Structure 1
Amino acid sequence: MDDMEVRRRRAIYRAQHRGTKELDIVMSRFAAARVAEMNADEMTLFEQFLVLPEPQLYDWVMRGEPVGDPGFAGLVADVRRLGGFDGGCKAGQQDLN
């Protein structure tokens, strides 16, 4: 098993075990759909994303709050699209609350 395969498996596991059920579902769907096709740079960004605090990810992904870090904006939009949200942040948001 090469280094990228180890990173992919670790990222999928982390995406499935976020802490809140809602994020577990959305993030595991995203990981299942996207991780296999990620290059090294995309994987590094996703790994950095996965270690962010749970409340911050919840606000960005589930609530559509503005993404404070422009480096994560595209990733958050992709996660939201795959999660069945509007794909943007704030405008026309869907909230699970």
Structure 2
Amino acid sequence: MDRATSLKRLHFRAHHRGTKEADLLIGGFFDAHGAGWSDEEMTLFEALLEEQDVDIMAWAMGTDVAPEKYAGSILAALKTLNYVPTLS
């Protein structure tokens, strides 16, 4: 699959998680960072999308420790939480 198609697929999966909170957190994270990822980071994010939303959200908020396989730039950026849009 070419890069553009992979990014579109990841975009859809990041924005259609099942709850509004997860859509905002995971989708917002993808929107802020996805375009600049390497192929390896895209593969890691795709694996992350297989995890439960509550786990991903806990890792982002620091209320639980993420598995070592996610350590690195993606998890560090996920923890900043500066990509979550505010609702009015």
TM-score range, shorter chain: 0.7 to 0.9
Residue 52 of structure 1 aligns to a residue whose secondary structure is coil
Q: Please give the secondary structure, in 1, of the residue aligned with 2:17.
A: coil
Task: Tell me, yes or no, if the aligned pair for 2:62 and 2:79 is still in contact at 8 Å.
Answer: no
Residue 70 (str. 1) matches residue 56 (str. 2):
no
Residue 68 of structure 2 aligns with an amino acid whose one-letter code is P
Larger radius of gyration: 1
Aligned to 1:28: 27
TM-score normalised by the chain length of structure 1: 0.72
- 1 or 2 for the larger relative contact order (CA 8 Å, sep ≥6)? 2
Q: CA deviation at 1:17?
A: 0.9
Residue 36 of structure 1 and its aligned partner are, at CA, apart by 0.8
Cα distance in 1 for residues equivalent to 2:25 and 2:64: 16
Superposition map of 1:1-97 within 5 A: 3-62=2-61, 64-67=63-66, 69-74=67-72, 75-81=74-80, 83-84=81-82
Aligned to 2:85: none
* TM-aligned CA distance change 1:76 to 1:20, over 3 Å: farther
After superposition, give the CA deviation of every residue in 1:32-82 in whole Å (9 maximum; x if it has no partner).
111111111110000000111223223222453111x1121332331121x
Alpha-carbon distance in structure 2 between the residues aligned to 1:63 and 1:39: 25
Q: How many residues align?
A: 82
- TM-score normalised over the length of structure 2: 0.78
Q: Which runs of 5+ in 2 are unaligned?
A: 83-88
Identity level (%): 32
The residue type equivalent to 1:22 in the other structure is E
